[in-house]
Amino acid sequence: MKKIIAASVLSLAALSAHAAEQGAYVFGNLGYNFAKPKKLDTHGIEGLSSSHSAAGGSWELGGGYRFNDHFALEASYADFGKAKTSVAARTDDANGNAGVALETTALRLAAVGILPVTSELDLFGKVTLNQMYFNASANASVSIPELGFETAGSASEKQSRLRPGIGLGAAYKINKQLSLRGEYEYVSLPNWAVNGQSVMQTGMHVLKAGVNYSF
């Protein structure tokens, strides 16, 4: 009888723990986006040099609902930073530069599969659908000091695309409401080209760290 009572108590405790995993939560992440555009081709012309930089710092705010120990849905807004590439000309007679920048934000939905490892630690994988908003801008300038000549111009283009993504991560519970999370995520990108020359890589690799607060 004592064994039956003990087993019943443990079963009720386990059910209570499972029930506690259900509910709504909000989260925030800070991260780094390693996506880097290709260098613009200088075609070996003397006096031309090219450079590029990764999109860099990113952030995300969102909320979710955990249905049970193993599944949750999330919705969020993310800013993935701005990637840049440029080419510059420096000669005795003239100076000039041309650059392209791609700024990316997104509205996101994620299906999250969760694997509880301990009562404090969860591993998770996610599949995301991202409504991405791209703001591409280009600028160029040329100056010839001896002639007193200087000109500059710029152009911009906005597009939106629906792109898939995947991610892996872990969450560690500090207490019943608060947990820390870290994750790696890959998001597919369309192929961006300038004058027929491919500029952007095919995807973004993002490392993120953040916090969850459960209600």
Model confidence over 86-122: pLDDT tens digits?
Answer: 777 776 666 777 777 888 999 999 999 999 999 999 9
pLDDT band at 198 (very low <50, low <70, confident <90, very high): low
Contacts of 173 (CB under 8 A, 6+ apart): 119, 120, 121, 122, 179
Q: How far apart are CA 43 and CA 123, in angstroms?
A: 48
Mean pLDDT of 150-164: 81
pLDDT (0 to 100) of residue 193:
60
Contacts of 135 (CB under 8 A, 6+ apart): 102, 103, 104, 156, 157, 158
pLDDT (0 to 100) of residue 64:
96
User: Which residue ranges form the domains of the chain, and what is each CATH number?
Assistant: 23-214 (2.40.160.20)
CB of 184 within 8 A of CB of 170?
no
96 HSE (CA, 13 A, CB side)? 17
Percent residues over pLDDT 90 in the chain: 48
CB of 130 within 8 A of CB of 187?
yes
pLDDT (0 to 100) of residue 147:
65
pLDDT (0 to 100) of residue 14:
45
Average pLDDT over the chain, rounded to whole?
81
Q: How far apart are CA 33 and CA 165, in angstroms?
A: 14
pLDDT (0 to 100) of residue 9:
40
- Predicted confidence (pLDDT) per residue in 6-60, tens digit: 444 444 444 444 444 789 999 999 999 998 877 666 666 666 677 777 888 999 9
Contacts of 139 (CB under 8 A, 6+ apart): 98, 99, 152, 153, 154, 155
Mean pLDDT of 69-90: 88
DSSP β-bridge partners for residue 180: 172, 211
pLDDT (0 to 100) of residue 18:
46
81, two tokens: 């930073």
Which is more confidently placed, 150 or 77?
A: 77
Mean pLDDT of 110-137: 94
